C-alpha cells in the first residue's frame, strides 16, 4: 500500500482532493496528515506520494509548493482540480460585532473583497481545519472564514455564504513523487519545466519564447523564481501544453536551449485537466 502525504487534519480541501484522487484512480493508498504545506512537501522523502495545492483561480500559484518541488527535484505525475467556496461564520449577532477573524493564509487572498468590506483584523492559520477548530473554541467576538462543506457539522449564530471574490473559484493540486512513475497519458497533456539561466544577458526571455514558438509548443504560464544564491539571479517555472504524440518535442527543446547556455529540468508530464 502506498502512503500519501496530505495537508491536514481531516477535512481540508487537500484531504478532499486526495480522497477523490485515490477513488478516481482506484489507488491503494493510505493518507498521512501533516500540519503545513512545507511539512507535507518534505514528508515525500518518507512517503510514496504527496498532494500539494499548487494554483488557485483567485490567488494564483502556491509558491511554497512550487519552490519545494523545484528545490527537491520532486516529480509531478498528475493533477486534480476542486471547486472552492467559503462562508463567514460567527456567534455574534452580526459581522460588525467581530473584532478578530480566523482565516487560512491562502484563503485570505481569495476573500479580500469581503474582508475589506468589514475591515477585520485577520488571524492567519495554517489550514482550514485549524480555522474551524479556532472559531469553535472562541467567544462571540471572533469570526472565521471557513470552507462551505464545514458548515455541515457546525452551527453558528451568523452565517454569510459564498464570500470568495468570485463564485468560479477553483484550486489545482499536483500529485508528486520522488521519481517519475508510469502514467497512461491522454491525447492532451501538460508539462512543467524549470529553466535556469547560467549567464544573464539581454533577450533571454525572447530566446526561450522563440524556441517554444519554433517547436509549436503552447505556453500556459511562466513564473520567475529567485535562485537563492545572489540578488538578481532567477530561474523560470513554465507550464506547457502539447499532444501526447509530441512529447519528444520536450527533448528537442532541452537540446536547443542547452546550446544557448540554459539548463532545463523537466519536473513532470501529466494529463491535462
Strands (E), the chain: 2-7, 29-34, 49-56, 60-61, 75-83, 86-90, 100-104, 121-125, 142-147, 158-161, 170-177, 188-197, 218-226, 234-243, 262-271
Question: What's the confidence (pLDDT) of residue 232?
Answer: 67
Predicted confidence (pLDDT) per residue in 113-154, tens digit: 999 999 899 999 988 888 999 999 999 999 999 999 999 888
Domains of the chain, earliest start first: 2-84+169-177 (3.40.190.10), 86-161 (3.40.190.10), 188-271 (3.30.70.260)
Of the chain, the percentage scoring pLDDT greater than 90 comes to: 73
Mean pLDDT score of the chain:
92
Kindly tell me if the per-residue pLDDT of 226 is higher than 70: yes
Question: What's the confidence (pLDDT) of residue 103?
Answer: 96
Task: Give the least confident one: 59-73, 152-166, 204-218, 227-241.
Answer: 227-241
Of the chain, the percentage scoring pLDDT greater than 70 comes to: 99
Reading the block at residue 173, the C-alpha cell is 493540486
**Confidence (pTM):** 0.88
Amino acid at each position: 500500500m502506498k502512503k500519501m502525504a496530505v495537508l491536514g487534519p481531516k477535512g481540508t480541501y487537500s484531504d478532499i482532493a486526495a480522497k477523490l484522487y485515490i477513488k478516481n484512480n482506484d489507488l491503494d493508498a493510505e493518507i498521512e496528515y501533516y500540519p503545513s504545506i512545507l511539512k507535507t512537501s518534505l514528508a515525500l522523502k518518507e512517503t510514496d506520494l504527496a498532494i500539494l495545492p499548487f494554483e488557485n483561480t483567485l490567488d494564483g500559484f502556491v509558491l511554497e509548493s512550487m519552490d519545494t518541488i523545484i528545490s527537491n527535484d520532486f516529480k509531478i505525475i498528475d493533477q486534480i482540480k476542486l471547486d472552492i467556496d467559503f462562508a463567514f461564520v460567527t456567534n455574534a449577532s452580526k459581522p460588525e460585532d467581530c473584532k478578530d477573524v480566523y482565516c487560512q493564509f491562502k484563503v485570505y487572498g481569495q476573500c479580500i473583497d469581503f474582508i475589506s468590506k468589514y475591515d477585520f483584523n485577520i488571524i492567519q492559520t495554517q489550514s482550514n481545519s485549524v480555522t474551524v477548530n479556532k472559531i469553535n473554541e472562541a467567544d462571540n467576538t471572533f469570526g472565521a472564514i471557513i470552507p462551505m462543506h464545514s458548515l455541515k457539522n457546525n452551527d453558528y449564530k451568523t452565517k454569510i455564504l459564498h464570500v470568495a471574490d468570485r463564485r468560479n473559484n477553483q484550486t489545482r493540486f499536483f500529485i508528486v513523487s520522488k521519481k517519475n512513475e508510469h502514467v497512461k497519458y491522454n491525447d492532451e497533456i501538460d508539462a512543467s519545466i524549470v529553466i535556469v539561466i547560467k549567464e544573464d544577458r539581454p533577450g533571454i526571455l525572447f530566446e526561450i519564447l522563440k524556441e517554444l514558438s519554433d517547436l509549436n509548443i503552447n505556453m500556459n504560464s511562466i513564473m520567475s523564481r529567485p535562485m537563492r544564491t545572489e540578488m538578481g539571479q532567477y530561474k523560470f517555472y513554465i507550464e506547457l501544453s502539447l499532444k501526447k504524440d509530441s512529447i519528444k518535442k520536450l527533448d528537442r527543446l532541452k537540446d536547443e536551449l542547452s546550446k544557448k547556455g540554459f539548463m532545463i529540468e523537466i519536473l513532470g508530464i501529466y494529463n491535462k485537466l
